[in-house]
Amino acid sequence: MQFLYSSLYSHTILAFLGFLEVPYSSRQIVSERYKDFMIRENSTQYALLGLLTVQPMSGYEIKKNIENSISFFWSESFGQIYPALKKMERNNLIKSKNMPDQKGKLKTVYQITNNGRKKLAEWLHKPVQPSRKRNELLLKLFFGNQMSSETLESHFNKEKEKHQSLMQMYQITEKKLDTECSLLPDYEFWKITLFYGQFQSQAILEWVEKSRDLLSKKKKSI
């Protein structure tokens, strides 16, 4: 990332001085990547603020909560979480204190502040930023005429297995939500994000079968 921005900075200065002509398409690509990076960086702090409205947590606990709750539609690495927490604390969006864990070792626990709640509320009321979609499977299938039928079948099988596994995971998650979280104020909102994953995976499983049928008819007609 540092190299990308150092390179971008050098090219920008050279272009400004007239030593380098930067094509419009290149400027557009760099602009879009920078915009995506900034959206992602800003969204990280809102994801963390949202999780901290549930309860105070350490950085490690935040990561585990992400893996156990929103990971099917959102991910954050430790490399994103800890720098964001430091920046958020400097901006008075969260505060921290050292507390002993179950083994008596001190851990840093973060808690959302009133400023943090206001910042989160402002973001929640803003329109959703459009995200750039990239799907390698669809890209390969678009050029499927260049693939063997065995390769196509392999791609479909892997996609089917992936979403069958996801459906099983969603089922387990739904049972856990219903038995352990039904009285929590966030319950219905957590459930509708789960619905999204369930409907999406079900739709993809149906798409796999419909695609196979279509290609099977094409094969028979040849």
The mean pLDDT of 159-182, rounded to a whole number, is 96
**What domain count does the chain have?**
2
Does residue 114 contact residue 49 with C-beta atoms inside 8 Å? Answer: no
Separation between Cα atoms, residue 46 and residue 68, nearest integer Å = 18
Same domain, 105 and 151: no
Same domain, 186 and 120: no
| In the predicted structure, residue 184 carries a pLDDT above the cut 50 | yes
Same domain, 114 and 177: no
Same domain, 121 and 186: no
Same domain, 78 and 157: no
| In the predicted structure, residue 54 carries a pLDDT above the cut 50 | yes
* 177 within a domain of the structure (yes/no): yes
Q: What stretch of H or E contains 112?
A: strand 106-112
DSSP string of 56-111, one letter each residue:
-EEHHHHHHHHHHTTTTT----HHHHHHHHHHHHHTTSEEEEEEE-TTS-EEEEEE
The mean pLDDT of 10-36, rounded to a whole number, is 42
Last residue within a domain, chosen from 94, 125, 156: 125
The mean pLDDT of 111-117, rounded to a whole number, is 98
* 130 within a domain of the structure (yes/no): no
Full strand arrangement of the beta sheet holding 94-100: 57-58, 106-112, 94-100
* 131 within a domain of the structure (yes/no): no
Last residue within a domain, chosen from 125, 147, 166: 125
Same domain, 68 and 159: no
Predicted pLDDT of residue 61: 96
The residue type at 43:
S
Same domain, 160 and 107: no
DSSP string of 14-59, one letter each residue:
HHHHTS-PPPHHHHHHHHHHHHHHHHHHHHHHHHHHHHHTT--EEH
| In the predicted structure, residue 24 carries a pLDDT above the cut 80 | no
Separation between Cα atoms, residue 164 and residue 202, nearest integer Å = 8
Same domain, 7 and 84: yes
* 49 within a domain of the structure (yes/no): yes
| In the predicted structure, residue 34 carries a pLDDT above the cut 70 | no
| Spatial CA neighbour of 57 closest among 90, 89, 96 | 96
3-state secondary structure of 163: helix
Domain that holds residue 7: 2-125
| In the predicted structure, residue 163 carries a pLDDT above the cut 90 | yes
Q: How many CB atoms lie within 10 A of CB 117?
A: 14
Same domain, 101 and 194: no
* 142 within a domain of the structure (yes/no): yes
* 25 within a domain of the structure (yes/no): yes
Same domain, 97 and 200: no
Same domain, 24 and 115: yes
Predicted pLDDT of residue 159: 98
Same domain, 20 and 51: yes
pTM of the model: 0.72
* 185 within a domain of the structure (yes/no): yes
| In the predicted structure, residue 177 carries a pLDDT above the cut 80 | yes
B/e letters for 64-87, b = 16+ CB within 10 Å, e = fewer, are ebbeebbebeeebeeebbeebbee
Sorting pLDDT into bands at 50, 70 and 90, what band is 53? very high
The mean pLDDT of 189-204, rounded to a whole number, is 97
What's the whole-number average pLDDT of the chain? 84
* 64 within a domain of the structure (yes/no): yes
- What CATH code is carried by the domain that includes residue 67? 1.10.10.10
Q: How many CB atoms lie within 10 A of CB 16?
A: 10
Residue-wise pLDDT for 66-79, tens only, equals 998 998 889 999 99
Last residue within a domain, chosen from 79, 102, 125: 125
Query: Which of residues 1 and 48 earns the better pLDDT score?
Result: 48
| Spatial CA neighbour of 62 closest among 113, 118, 111, 120 | 111
